[in-house]
Structure 1
Amino acid sequence: MAERRQRRDAERRDSRLVAEYEAHGAGWFWQSDRRGRLTYLSDKVARELRTLGIEPIGAALTDVFRVDSAWVETERTLSFHLSSRTSFTDYSVRPAAGGSGAERWWSISGRPARDELDRFQGFIGAGSDLTEQRRAEAEIKRLALFDALTGIANRQRMRLALEQTLAQAQAGGTHPTGLFLLDLDRFKAVNDTLGHQVGDELLKEVAQRLQRTIGDAGLVGRLGGDEFKVIVPNEGDRDRLGALAQRVIAALSLPYHIDRSTLSIGCSVGVAIAPADGAGQEELVRNADLALYAAKADGRGVHRFYREELLHGAQNRKRLEDDLRRALAAGEFRLAYQPVVSTADARIMGYEALVRWDHPQRGAVSPAEFIPVAEECGLIEAIGAWVLDTACAEAATWPDHVRVAVNVSPIQFANPRLPALVAGALAATGLAPHRLELEITEGVFLNEDASSEQMFRALKALGVRLALDDFGTGYSSLGYLRKAPFDKIKIDQSFVRGAIQPGNRNAAIIRAIVSLAETLGMETTAEGVEQQDEIVLIRGLGCSHIQGYVYGRPADAGTVRAQLDAAEGYAVPIGHKTSRAPRHRVLRSARLELAGERAEVRVRNISPAGAMVDGVDLPAAAIGYPVALELEDGLALAATVRWVDDEGRAGLQFDAAFDLEWLNQPVPRRAA
């Protein structure tokens, strides 16, 4: 009697514990008969199934639950275990009905139940709720495969998708695959000037436009930053891929309206096609990237297909990079100096230091070829430091009024150590700070922020001069001139070229720049002056300095010393005046008077500022002496000898500007 009472109490206690567990815990229980039909299911799960239209009691277990195929953790089905009467553990299941909206997951386990005579009675088991776990895992998976900002596929998903697409194409035969790599043009300027929040909104709109343009033709993904990728399966026709790339460029180049601002950017596209441009993922992506590089090099806003020459070019750049890494240590660089001449009196006021590379096998390598490579591979700062140190050391031997100009790349300008490097070069060489001019391009203003202003202040605190190089060719803004403490504006040669021609607007542009610079207390240098008649124009427009081949090509330090010594620091123009009609009296006889002595000479290359004469044997001691150059009809020009050579030639600088139109006047006939 007492024993039965104890058993009943134990059963009631167990029932209460089970009920409490089922009601408030994460677990639940189930039981089936010998045919696999549910005879018991915890109430909370049964109620949930009924809301989905499933009546669990009396239904087969396999009609109530199905193994979740998205989370396969077993090779066997529930039906197998029920028919074979074997245990199973932690099977992930979902409701067998209810549609995709039934986002419920459970984990169930079961084992066969037997009576005292070892006769099979059915299954008993337990389950637990996996819904939150599965949702968390799905979110993790989504984050792992989708871009958090734009919601499109990320780099990892695009890599897996391209790998799968290429594998299927290989297995199925010759199905081609098109691959686009995209890079946004001018996005960095937007991001830096308007902030990352606007930049993020812009990227979201770009992703939406890209998806709408591609549509069902392919998979769109973001690799990071402003780089995107598009996989176009089963498409290898260059015309159709080219047309699609053009539609992408057109769509992404339309104006964007964000935060009350209208923004305009562009897009460059590189295209590669598998298997012709690479059967494997790595090779295909590399070749699409080379095509993108070519698109950007061709002016941006275009698409380019991969071609074999691009790989050869990349390999050449790699060899050039390898050679660059040892060139500095091997002493293969040298500096050439081009004079900067005052328009007022043709005096040489300074030189621009230009780096040259004498390759042991290739010979002279153009700066236009190796400077971009040096910037890409991170060598520009080391080369720039060498240029700075060398230029300061050589300029320290020049006369005190002669300055040296050194180019500073945007990469160097962004380095907080630049002021220390400049101060170190000045201290080591003894060059006065005001004799060093740092030429900075407008590219530094793409990252215009507090650090840029701080850099300008730090450099000016050293006492060096600052020049804005290639003004008018980049992201020109009057705001730069208002904020940055420049001492000089260098007018790009593209404005000088053709300015002498009637009707050309470049002269008006130069005049406007000079007027602006004068208002701000800045000097101006016109770059790329090659013809003598351009000197008169530049002087008339008010430029304070001239730089170009008209006063000589870049020369080594030894030649610079000779120039400064031979002509007492004055420059004589060379070359021809080409913008007016040819004359018959290019060579004319004249007389040169020096210290009371007269000699017949021939006049060559005459300009408003001076002339070169030959047929006279002047000693070097004549340099700096006043002379009179008497032309036909008694016209005498006061001048100073600026240089002489061993071939009977001499360079003269006129004391006053000479009107060249006089040479075009008819020659009067003399009486017989």
Structure 2
Amino acid sequence: MGAMPFSEFFKGRKGGIDTDIPEGSPASAGGVSATDKLAILEDLERTGLAWFWATDPQGKVAYLSPSIVEGLGSQLEKLLGQPLQHLFVPISGEGDGRSLGLKLSTRKGFSGYTVESSNQNSKVVLRLSGRPLHNDAGDFIGFRGSALDITDEFRSEEEASRLAQFDSLTGLANRHRMEQRIDSTLTTFRSAKRSAALMMLDLDRFKQVNDTLGHAAGDQLLQQVAERLHAVVAGRGEIGRIGGDEFQLLVPDMDDRGELGEIAKKIIQMLSQPYSVEEGRCIIGCSVGIAIAPYDGVEREELMRAADLALYASKNGGRGQFRFYAADLEHEANLRRRMEEDLAEAIEAGHFTVEYLPTVSLKDNRVTGLEAQYCWQDEDRGRVSADTFLPIAEGSRLIIPIGEWAMRKACEEAVDWPSSLRISFAVSPVQFAANGFAEMVETVLKDTGLDPARLELQFNEAVLLGDAAKVDKALATLFKLGVRLSLDQFGSGLSSLSYLRRAPFDALRIGANFFEPVMGSEVGDMEMVRAVIALAGAMGMETAATGVHAMPLMAQLKTRGIDQVSGFVFAEALTAEQVREELAQGEWTLAPTATGTQRASRRTVFRKIGVIHEDHYYDVTLRNLSRSGAMIQGLEDVPAGTMFVLDFGSGQLAVCGVRRSMDDTQGVEFEQELVDDGAGGLCTRHRVSPYELAAAGAPLEALHGSKNSSARSMTSGSGFAQFKLSDNAPKQGHAA
């Protein structure tokens, strides 16, 4: 049975139109009979200029124009008797806000009500008008109405609206939509006292892909980046593309910096995996900056600026990193610029030296090689650690001239050493990617006369992220020179086993990250170490472990078959003069010492922090810091077991207990471990919420640079001070 004609529906209906009217009756006197009127309506219905619908008193479908039935992709027999509101739903954003069923239940006329099919397979959109119908007795007998098909018009506007809010290439939210989402989220969350994190992402080496493979390849890569971001985020937030290679991620209800750091690491890892495009294979990287509302900003502009500063810091730190916003980042940027200038002057002034860290064979404790390490003696700063200036040197590309000078200097020294002693040199990705690196190595070897077999170049896994063809060519050139090649920090990044088969590496070096204490083992993940040693053995490579500082760890590595070890368990780095003195004594062997411990890496720091005990606030000196604890100085006669709260500033509070105490120095253990801050430092997972401070009477604002004011204000100091400040304590009550 086909769709019911309009005239058939009304014929014979009480209260409807009587089509059986004799000619010459008053109805036809005007020239248009009722039958003609129905014919006109059927023409309108058939041509699509107007469609019609009707319901019974219960709101169930009594009639639908054939075109409506067709648009719904159904048959009239299946639709008759169904509630009209089951077939149509208001479009998103319909101003009325009431459901179709509610409108019908009022039994009042309506017009211009826009609905769409409830069936997702149908795209039809109608603008409905209707009025209630009553019989002669005044009883309600249903609705009669018209429908206008606005599907094409509505879907076109919908697509235009989508394009105005979404990136046409990746399908991600665009800058305009992200700004709206951030604004609305912060406004809503502010009243509900909720947090939200904003991540700024920038792709590293994307321009290189565009320049070498073309813009079509770049577009394909961006689409794959969007897919990978969706896989990582998995619905936990909104992702936007706000520029050519810039992305944003808004994560609601998230202020745990440990978890955010893990998300950032996963994003960096996922986006750094190889991409396949039509023009070939390419590899890029990613840097991430993170800011959290309300801690780092209450308004959108404030939060975005904080995330931008963190992103800038992560890129300057060597790329492929993440950074959390901190109030001192602007000051840090100024210090970085000044250090860049001083580094350039230091190169000219010859303020760099090279020191040598012994590598020892575990078979006989014989020194088999020396690893060259950079040293910078600055007139104002004193001795500057390599961990401090190397990221800046890499970001400014000053590492290229510094590295060439250091390699030449080390090779000149090594020429006078015994032929059995190798010199090893760590090569940064920036050095390796520079034009003519392999040629520079060849020139240095020729100029110094060093046997190429005695030079070992160490590459970390970031080197493999460069252009595959260029990497393969450079490694092949170095291999032909006879230089020994090793893969440094194996297992800490993105090593591909298939790449290991192709690359001519002679050794795998296991980094200290393997030896951080783990559950059930104070010396790290020995099962993973065993697997790496087995892999190296199967591929004919030697193994070396770096950062070994304790006898128990060395013993474990020896039983598992590691070949060589370096670290404080044998010796610290030596000057060139000290190396010559050792060599003058004949065969060089080193006995391990039992003075070190393999614990969570401690960073030596000397800065002022706060200590809260009961109702008192003390300023003390933080001497060193690790994930699990710290050493503080400034309070006398503190018994073991005393509970403190350490105030690191900017809302960072850590509950800890004193585990050992000597004079005015205490070793404390944190109740909750600190987490990576992305810059090689540590931070607390959570901070004092500005909402809590506002509840205590402070204005609602981000945690700006004041170091200790918020925590200090929480203590009245009205009680008895239990501990006496020592002469080593910093001046009280002043910012660090």
Aligned residue runs from structure 1 range 92-171, under 5 A? 149-150=169-170
* Paired position in structure 1 for 2:427: 408
* Paired position in structure 2 for 1:92: none
* TM-score of the aligned structures, taking structure 1 as reference length: 0.50
Sort the Cα spacing of 1:150 and 1:549 in 2 relative to 1 into closer, same or farther, 3 A. same
Tell me, yes or no, if the aligned pair for 2:548 and 2:565 is still in contact at 8 Å. Answer: yes
Deviations 1:623-670 (A, max 9, x none): xxxxxxxxxxxxxxxxxxxxxxxxxxxxxxxxxxxxxxxxxxxxxxxx
* Counterpart check, 1:571 vs 2:594: no
* Counterpart check, 1:317 vs 2:336: yes
Aligned residue runs from structure 1 range 41-56, under 5 A? none
Aligned residue runs from structure 1 range 261-280, under 5 A? 268=288, 270-271=290-291
* Paired position in structure 2 for 1:520: 539
* Counterpart check, 1:493 vs 2:512: yes
Distance 1:240 1:502 in 2: 35
* Counterpart check, 1:308 vs 2:331: no
Aligned residue runs from structure 1 range 192-211, under 5 A? 197=220, 199-203=222-226
Deviations 1:49-94 (A, max 9, x none): xxx9xxxxxxxxxxxxxxxxxxxxxxxxxxxxxxxxxxxxxxxxxx
* Paired position in structure 1 for 2:399: 380
Shift of 1:355: 0.4
Shift of 1:372: 1.2
Shift of 1:203: 2.1
Shift of 1:365: 1.3
Q: Name the % identity.
A: 33
Tell me, yes or no, if the aligned pair for 2:202 and 2:245 is still in contact at 8 Å. Answer: no
Tell me, yes or no, if the aligned pair for 1:271 and 1:292 is still in contact at 8 Å. Answer: no
What SS class does the counterpart of residue 201 from structure 2 fall into? strand
Distance 1:251 1:537 in 2: 33
* Counterpart check, 1:224 vs 2:247: no
Tell me, yes or no, if the aligned pair for 1:272 and 1:291 is still in contact at 8 Å. Answer: no
* Paired position in structure 2 for 1:437: 456
Sort the Cα spacing of 1:185 and 1:491 in 2 relative to 1 into closer, same or farther, 3 A. same
Distance 1:441 1:536 in 2: 26
Shift of 1:205: 7.9
Distance 2:180 2:522 in 1: 59
Shift of 1:524: 1.7
Sort the Cα spacing of 1:502 and 1:380 in 2 relative to 1 into closer, same or farther, 3 A. closer
Distance 1:326 1:308 in 2: 29
Shift of 1:561: 0.7
Distance 1:542 1:303 in 2: 38
Sort the Cα spacing of 1:319 and 1:161 in 2 relative to 1 into closer, same or farther, 3 A. farther
Tell me, yes or no, if the aligned pair for 1:203 and 1:226 is still in contact at 8 Å. Answer: no
Distance 1:252 1:461 in 2: 36
Aligned residue runs from structure 1 range 177-576, under 5 A? 180=198, 182-183=200-201, 197=220, 199-203=222-226, 221-228=241-248, 268=288, 270-271=290-291, 286-292=305-311, 304=324, 306-447=325-466, 449-496=468-515, 506-532=525-551, 534-566=553-585, 568-576=586-594
Bigger CA drift: 385-394 or 524-533?
524-533
Shift of 1:330: 1.7
What SS class does the counterpart of residue 580 from structure 2 fall into? helix
What SS class does the counterpart of residue 577 from structure 2 fall into? helix
Tell me, yes or no, if the aligned pair for 2:516 and 2:524 is still in contact at 8 Å. Answer: no
Distance 2:265 2:352 in 1: 43
Distance 2:343 2:199 in 1: 29
Distance 1:366 1:214 in 2: 39
Query: Which structure features the higher share of helix residues?
Result: 1
Distance 2:539 2:228 in 1: 41
Bigger CA drift: 366-375 or 421-430?
366-375
Tell me, yes or no, if the aligned pair for 1:210 and 1:248 is still in contact at 8 Å. Answer: no
Structure 1 unpaired stretches of 5+? 1-51, 53-98, 104-138, 170-177, 233-238, 260-264, 581-672
Shift of 1:516: 2.5
Bigger Rg over Cα? 1
Q: Number of matched residues?
A: 417
Tell me, yes or no, if the aligned pair for 1:242 and 1:303 is still in contact at 8 Å. Answer: no
Tell me, yes or no, if the aligned pair for 1:381 and 1:412 is still in contact at 8 Å. Answer: yes
1:571 maps to a residue whose letter is T
Tell me, yes or no, if the aligned pair for 1:490 and 1:527 is still in contact at 8 Å. Answer: yes
Tell me, yes or no, if the aligned pair for 2:549 and 2:597 is still in contact at 8 Å. Answer: no
2:510 maps to a residue whose letter is I
Deviations 1:503-534 (A, max 9, x none): 96734433332333233222222222333455
Sort the Cα spacing of 1:345 and 1:316 in 2 relative to 1 into closer, same or farther, 3 A. same
Tell me, yes or no, if the aligned pair for 2:197 and 2:254 is still in contact at 8 Å. Answer: no
Bigger CA drift: 442-451 or 422-431?
442-451
Tell me, yes or no, if the aligned pair for 1:152 and 1:222 is still in contact at 8 Å. Answer: no
Distance 2:261 2:566 in 1: 44
What SS class does the counterpart of residue 440 from structure 1 fall into? strand
Shift of 1:199: 4.4
Tell me, yes or no, if the aligned pair for 1:249 and 1:301 is still in contact at 8 Å. Answer: no
Distance 1:432 1:151 in 2: 56
What SS class does the counterpart of residue 224 from structure 1 fall into? coil
1:397 maps to a residue whose letter is D
1:222 maps to a residue whose letter is I
Distance 2:261 2:580 in 1: 58
Sort the Cα spacing of 1:207 and 1:486 in 2 relative to 1 into closer, same or farther, 3 A. closer
Sort the Cα spacing of 1:511 and 1:208 in 2 relative to 1 into closer, same or farther, 3 A. closer
* TM-score of the aligned structures, taking structure 2 as reference length: 0.46
What SS class does the counterpart of residue 350 from structure 2 fall into? coil
Shift of 1:409: 0.9
Distance 1:222 1:457 in 2: 40
Tell me, yes or no, if the aligned pair for 2:198 and 2:291 is still in contact at 8 Å. Answer: yes
Sort the Cα spacing of 1:442 and 1:240 in 2 relative to 1 into closer, same or farther, 3 A. closer
Shift of 1:253: 7.7
Tell me, yes or no, if the aligned pair for 1:339 and 1:554 is still in contact at 8 Å. Answer: yes
What SS class does the counterpart of residue 338 from structure 2 fall into? helix
What SS class does the counterpart of residue 569 from structure 2 fall into? helix
Shift of 1:492: 1.8
Tell me, yes or no, if the aligned pair for 1:442 and 1:468 is still in contact at 8 Å. Answer: yes
Shift of 1:428: 1.0
Aligned residue runs from structure 1 range 56-67, under 5 A? none
Distance 1:478 1:209 in 2: 23
Deviations 1:171-222 (A, max 9, x none): xxxxxxx99552179998xx99xx863542442685899999878xxx9552
